[in-house]
Amino acid sequence: MNERITPASDPATWGPAIDEAVNVVSRGGLIVLPTDTVYGIGADAFTPPAVQALLDAKGRGRHMPPPVLIADVATLDGLAIDVPVGARALATQFWPGGLTLIVHAQPSLAWDLGETNGTVALRVPDHPTALALLRRTGPLAVSSANTTGNPAAVTAEGAYEQLGDVVSVYLDAGDAPGQVASSIVDATGGTLRLVRAGAVSLDQLREIADVEAPAS
């Protein structure tokens, strides 16, 4: 087995794997972690060179900034300002889960995710390994674990085949449980707007808040 791929599916035994991933993140390195959608490549959101390394690993430019994964709804107010009531209700209902919210980023934060125009895309993943890691690391910039133009990896091995040794540790929790991408709601305008349909349907969103359909 590849020495960079480390089992991280059992809470009783994943401690050393999580420890190693936390150490890598703290040193500005890259990790691969499981989520409830696909595997993701992650870096400390507050270490700009690490975020740039993430983009480089994927072959992406700064015009495609990565979303940020957080451990709980309470972190929302630490990273965002002017969060609409409807967006907060959506977060409360669907986090952890397959919903990404685009919100106005706190202007005082010392991060550089790319060309975000003052916004940030936030999500709480519904995956025990990811949440255990995020509680230790804090917010992580995470994008799907693949090189641009290739399918997102649904296994740690599949991620390694694409990203190789540029990633220091791969947390292996088996097959990613859901292949459907998260739904994305833009909460930066006067109304909430569905940007990408995904794991949470428009009807489900509208049960909680007034959300506009995607532009056709």
Q: What is the CATH number of the domain that holds 86?
A: 3.90.870.10
Which structure tokens are listed for 144? Answer: 């799907």
The percent of residues above 70 in pLDDT, for the chain, comes to 99
d(CA 105, CA 121): 9
Asked if 154 and 176 count as a contact pair (C-beta separation under 8 A), the reply is yes
- Greatest CA separation for the chain: 51
State phi, psi for 183 to the nearest 5 degrees.
-75, 145
212 domain-assigned: no
Number of domains in the chain: 1
- pTM of the prediction? 0.95
Which structure tokens are listed for 103? Answer: 């919100």
216 domain-assigned: no
pLDDT tens by residue, 18-50: 999 999 999 999 999 999 999 999 999 999 999
82 domain-assigned: yes
Nearest one of 132, 138, 111, 120 to 35, comparing CA atoms: 132
Range of the domain at 38: 5-177
170 domain-assigned: yes
Question: What was the pLDDT predicted at 1?
Answer: 58
157 domain-assigned: yes
Question: What was the pLDDT predicted at 123?
Answer: 98
d(CA 33, CA 22): 11
Quick one: pLDDT band at residue 180, thresholds 50, 70, 90?
A: confident
d(CA 55, CA 49): 10
Query: What's the chain's average pLDDT?
Result: 94
Question: What was the pLDDT predicted at 184?
Answer: 96
pLDDT tens by residue, 114-154: 999 999 999 999 999 999 999 999 999 999 999 999 988 99
- State the amino acid at position 18 in one-letter form: I
Rg (C-alpha) for the chain, rounded Å, is 16
State phi, psi for 75 to the nearest 5 degrees.
-75, -20
The mean per-residue pLDDT over the stretch 6-28 comes to: 96
